[in-house]
Amino acid sequence: MEESHKRSSMSKVIKFTGVTRLNLPVDRVLDAAKETLEGVVIMGWTTDGEEYFASTYADGGTVLWLVERMKKMLLEVDK
């Protein structure tokens, strides 16, 4: 094989961490969260289309405060 056609098998892949309009795989988001967060609120839909909610926080007030803060941030994102 010519030298110009050889490719290194050692490629560095950098994960994109910015805002995107594309859906991300659940595993990627959860793995990143496990590495950095001390607690979480998870909301979504199951593969059967049912609503899903779970939280590591026992206090409902803390959960609601966090949800509202994140809602505010989402509404302020430049579109």
Distances (CA, A) of 36 to 31, 55, 71, 76: 9, 16, 20, 23
* pLDDT higher than 70, residue 57: yes
Asked whether 41 and 16 are in contact (CB, 8 A), the reply is: no
Q: Could you read off the pLDDT of 13-46 as tens digits, one per residue?
A: 666 666 667 888 999 989 989 989 999 999 999 9
List the structure tokens of 78. Answer: 């430049």
Share of the chain above pLDDT 70, in %: 76
Task: Give the start-to-end residue ranges of the domains of the chain.
Answer: 14-75
Q: Residue 70's pLDDT is what? A: 94
List the structure tokens of 43. Answer: 């909301």
What's the mean per-residue pLDDT of the chain? 85
